[in-house]
Amino acid sequence: MSKILVTNATIVTMNKNRDIFKGDILIEDNKIARIAKNIEAKADKVIDARDKVVIPGLIQTHIHLTQTLFRGQADDMELLEWLRKKVWPLEAAHTAESNRISAELGIAELIKGGTTSIIDMGTVNHTEEIFKAVYKSGFRAIMGKCMMDYESNGKNALMEDTQKSILESVKLLKKWHMKDNGRIQYAFAPRFVISCSEKLLLETKRLSKEYDVMIHTHASENQSEIRIVQEDRGMRNIVYLDKLGLTGENLILAHCIWLDEEEMKIIANTGTKVAHCPNSNLKLASGIAKIPELLAMNANISLAADGAPCNNNLDMFSEMRTAALIQKGRLLDPTVMPAEKVFELATIGGAKAMRMEDKLGSIEEGKLADIVVIDLNSVHCIPTDEENTISKLVYSARATDVETTIINGKIVMEKRELTTLNESEIRNEANRIIKKQVDKAMRYKL
Ligand code: GUN
Ligand code: FE
C-alpha cells in the first residue's frame, strides 16, 4: 500500500460544516484515509505543507482538450463564425499525433492550475488519443467522442454519418468506460442541437440509459444558435431536449445563457446540470448566464474554462473570479455570488455534476485523494490571514500559486514539476506541429 502524509497544512475541507483548520492528511493508495490535527504514521512520502493551503482538487465540467493547440488562432469572433470558419476546420485537420499533443498540453495546463477532474467534449475523429493522454497522465475525466451528423447550413468540416458516429461512440465506451477503477468514464457528447439529427439525439438518450452514462452537450449559448433550433425543430432549445427525454441528472449542458423562465424551470426541476463558462461566454460575446437565478431555483451549477481558443486559458482561478464579478456587475449587487458560493461550485458543484459527490469535491475521510497544495505566500495573496482563505482563493490566487497536485492518490505535479507528463517535450511538440495544422485546416474551409 502506498502512503502519502501531508503535514501542517491549512486544510480547506469543503465538508458539510465547511471546516478550515490546520492539520495533517494521510493518503492510502487512492483514498483519503485520515484527517487530524496531528497524524503519527509511517509514509512513503511526506509533503510538508507548513504555511500552505490544501484544497479539494478543482473540477471543470466543460473542456475541449482537442482545442488546446488552437490557442490564439480564433480570437474576436462570435460563436457560429468562430466554429465554422476556424474551430471546425482546425479540429478536422487533426491527426492522431496532433490530437494527442493538444490533449497533453491541455492536461499539463490543467494539472499545473490545480484542476484534477474534467468533463471533456472530445472531437469527431481520433478521440481515442485523448483517452490515452488522460490515462497516461493520471488525470480524471468523464469524456466521449464528439458527435456531429447534421448541419442546418448544409455541410461543415466535421460532419459524419449518423450510424458511424454511434458505432464509434459505443466502441470507445466499451473500451474506456470505468477504466482504472472509474478514473476515466464515458459520456456521450452530441455537440449541440444544431449539429445533431433528432435520430442521433434519441439514440444517444437510449444508449446513455442502457449503459448508465452521462450525456454532455452545449445548449443555448448564443442567440443565433437558439434561433436556428427554433426554425429547425419548431421550439426552444431546452424545451426540445426535454421533449426528446434527454433532460435529467445524467445530462450536463454547457453555457445555458439564453433561457426563458420555462426553460430555467425545466433545468431545475429535472436535475439537469449546467456547466457555467464565464470567460468563454464573455470572450465570444455570447452573453451572461443567469447563474444566481438558477441557483435560487436549486439548479446544479459547476464551472469550467471551455476551450483554449475561446478563453484563452484553462485556469479555474480565473473562472472563479470572473464567475463572481460578472454577476455582481450584471445585477448591480455585490452580495450575489460570494466567494464561498463560487468555491463551492468549483469543488462540490463539479463533483455533483460528475455524479461523484460521494467520492469527490471535498477533503473527507474515505473520499478519493484528489487534493491540491497551494502557496498563498505570493505578494498578490498576502496577507495570508487564515480567516480570509476562501477570499484569497477566489479573488486573488492564480494558477501559478499551485505547488503540488495529487490525483487518485498519485502525485502528478510536485513543486511545479509534472511527474506523469514531459512538459518540455509537450511544449516543443506543440510549437513544432501548430503551423502544419493551421495550413492543413485552411483546406477544410467550407
Ligand atoms: N458549441 C458547439 N461547439 C462548441 C465549441 O467547440 N465551443 C463552444 N464554446 N461552443 C460550442
Ligand atoms: Fe464548449
CATH number of 393's domain? 2.30.40.10
Q: What is the pLDDT of residues 55-100, one digit of tens each?
A: 999 999 999 999 999 999 999 999 999 999 999 999 999 999 999 9
Same domain, 51 and 66: no
| pLDDT given at position 128 | 98
Q: 3-class SS at 249?
A: coil
CA of 67 to the centre of ligand 2 (A): 10
Instruction: Give residue 246's pLDDT.
Output: 98
Distance between CA atoms of residues 259 and 271, nearest Å: 16
Burial class (CB in 10 A: 0-12, 13-18, 19+), 435: exposed
User: Which triple of cell numbers denotes residue 31?
Assistant: 483514498
* Cα(101)–Cα(432) distance, integer angstroms: 10
Pocket test for ligand 1, best of 61, 62, 63, 64 (most atoms within 8 A of CB): 64
Predicted confidence at residue 266, as pLDDT, reads 99
At 430, which helix (H) or strand (E)?
helix 423-442
Give me the pLDDT at residue 363, please.
Answer: 99
Answer yes or no: is 229 within a domain.
Answer: yes
Both 35 and 104 in one domain: the answer is: no
For residue 121, which atom of ligand 1 is closest to its CA? 6
| 49 and 145 in a common domain | no
Output the pLDDT for position 153: 82
Taking the C-alpha atoms of residue 427 and residue 415, their distance in angstroms, rounded to an integer, is 19
Indicate whether 432 belongs to any domain: no
Q: What is the pTM of this model?
A: 0.98
Q: What is the dihedral of CA 410, 415, 421, 424, to 10 degrees?
A: 180
Distance in angstroms (rounded) separating the CA atoms of residues 36 and 339: 26
Range of the structural domain that residue 119 is part of? 58-353
The residue to mutate among 62, 87, 311, having the most atoms of ligand 1 within 8 angstroms of its beta carbon, is: 87
**How many residues are present in the chain?**
446
Mean pLDDT score, 104-127: 99
Task: Tell me: pLDDT of 320 over 70.
Answer: yes
Statement to judge: residues 275 and 386 lie in one domain: no
Total domain count, the chain:
2
The verdict on residue 442 lying in a domain is no
Estimate to the nearest angstrom the gap between the alpha carbon of 440 and the chain centroid.
28
- From the CA of 306, give the closest atom in ligand 1: 9
Whether the per-residue pLDDT at 6 is higher than 70: the answer is yes
Amino acid at 357: E
Say yes or no: 47 and 85 in one domain: no
Mutate to test the pocket of ligand 1, among 221, 237, 257, 258 (most ligand atoms within 8 A of CB): 221
Whether residues 281 and 291 fall in one domain: yes
pLDDT at res. 155: 87
> What pairing do the DSSP bridges indicate for beta strands 20-28 and 31-36?
antiparallel
Q: Is residue 359 part of a domain?
A: no
| Distance of alpha carbon 119 from alpha carbon 270, whole angstroms | 20
Which residues have C-beta under 5 Å from ligand 2, the single-atom ion?
Answer: 306
CA of 410: how far to CAs of 2, 138, 221, in Å? Answer: 9, 8, 36
Are 202 and 338 part of one and the same domain?
yes
Q: Are residues 98 and 128 in the same domain?
A: yes
Q: How many CB atoms lie within 10 A of CB 49?
A: 25
Same domain, 244 and 193: yes
Look up the CATH number of the domain holding residue 262: 3.20.20.140
Q: Return mean pLDDT, the chain.
A: 97
For ligand 1, atom 3, the nearest C-alpha belongs to: 191
Query: Mean pLDDT, to the nearest integer, of 107-134?
Result: 99
Candidates 169, 178, 173; CA nearest to 146 is 169
C-beta neighbour count of 94 within 10 angstroms: 25
User: What pLDDT does 387 receive?
Assistant: 83
* pLDDT-based confidence at residue 446 (cuts at 50, 70, 90): low
Lowest mean pLDDT across 165-174, 208-217, 334-343, 435-444:
435-444
State the distance from the centre of ligand 1 to the C-alpha of 391, rounded, in angstroms. 31
405-419: average pLDDT: 98
CA of 83 to the centre of ligand 1 (A): 7
Q: Which ligand neighbours the alpha carbon of 66 most closely?
A: 1
Question: What pLDDT is attached to residue 385?
Answer: 79
Burial of 61 (0-12, 13-18, 19+ CB in 10 A): buried
**Residue carrying C-alpha cell 490530437:** 99
Closest of 39, 54, 44, 45 to residue 9, by C-alpha = 54
The contacts of residue 189 (CB under 8 Å, 6+ apart) are 121, 122, 143, 144, 145, 146, 147, 169, 215, 216, 217
Please indicate, yes or no, if residue 436 is contained in any of the structural domains. Answer: no
Residue 248's pLDDT is what? 98
Among the ranges given (136-140, 369-373, 379-383, 396-400), the one the predictor scored with the smallest mean pLDDT: 379-383
Do 142 and 280 reside in the same domain of the chain?
A: yes
Nearest Cα residue to 275 out of 307, 308, 229: 307
First to last CA, the chain: 55
Q: What is the mean pLDDT of residues 307-332?
A: 98
Output the nine-digit C-alpha cell for 113.
Answer: 492550475
